[in-house]
Amino acid sequence: MRVVVPDLETICRLYLKALDSALAGESEAAQRYDWIMLELLDQQVRDYSGGEMGAYWKRMPMPAEDFVVARMGGEFLRFREWWRSQPASTPLPEPAPTVEEAIRFRQSGEVHRWMYDRWSLGQMLRQCGFVDIGVCAFNESRIPDFNRYGLDAEPDGSIRKPDSLFIEAHKP
């Protein structure tokens, strides 16, 4: 089995680095801090599609754009291309106007209900009876001919979701 989730460990390390840099007065560190806070929290609490991350992506100019590109990869680049082709009058997303719509959205599958690092996800897999649990790169797998499916890679061979943790395990 292969599991791909946002990588909590990396997000936390980047958060602490951005926090330290912002406190030290490093130029542009506050912008990286703002992004990594969104990346950490917005995916868990958003009430509408794209959430605050989506709204951030629509800012022109977008603060810390190189940092966001490095974290989000092709997903952001495709969105940016699409967004920049939209009429200037295209509205930003609005939070869900009713409690019922917010509940329906939170049950839709876009929202992550938990964050994992390599330790916590490995422990959960062990508790479920999996063995041979290991972290791998986006383009590495014990699944035969995995790369031909193009699940975790862009057509050019680059990583599709740079913010991800990739773990594989086997159940005897």
Which residues have C-beta within 8 Å of that of residue 97, sequence separation ≥ 6?
none
Instruction: Examine the domain organization and report whether 20 and 95 are in the same domain.
Output: yes
Last residue of a domain, one of 54, 74, 106: 106
How many residues are present in the chain?
172
Instruction: Examine the domain organization and report whether 38 and 93 are in the same domain.
Output: yes
- Report the number of distinct structural domains present in the chain: 2
Instruction: Examine the domain organization and report whether 13 and 95 are in the same domain.
Output: yes
Task: Report which of residues 155 and 111 the model is more confident about.
Answer: 155
Instruction: Examine the domain organization and report whether 17 and 97 are in the same domain.
Output: yes
- Compute the C-alpha angle 59/164/101, nearest 5°: 60
Residue 89, both tokens: 């009058």
The pLDDT of residue 95 is above 70: no
Q: What is Dmax (Cα atoms) for the chain?
A: 56
- Please give the pLDDT value at position 94: 63
For the stretch 70-89, pLDDT in tens is 999 998 999 889 888 888 77
Instruction: Examine the domain organization and report whether 145 and 94 are in the same domain.
Output: no
- Please give the pLDDT value at position 92: 62
Percent of the chain with pLDDT over 90: 67
For the stretch 103-152, pLDDT in tens is 787 777 777 888 999 999 999 999 999 999 999 999 999 999 999 999 99
Instruction: Examine the domain organization and report whether 28 and 72 are in the same domain.
Output: yes
Containing structural domain, residue 155: 118-170
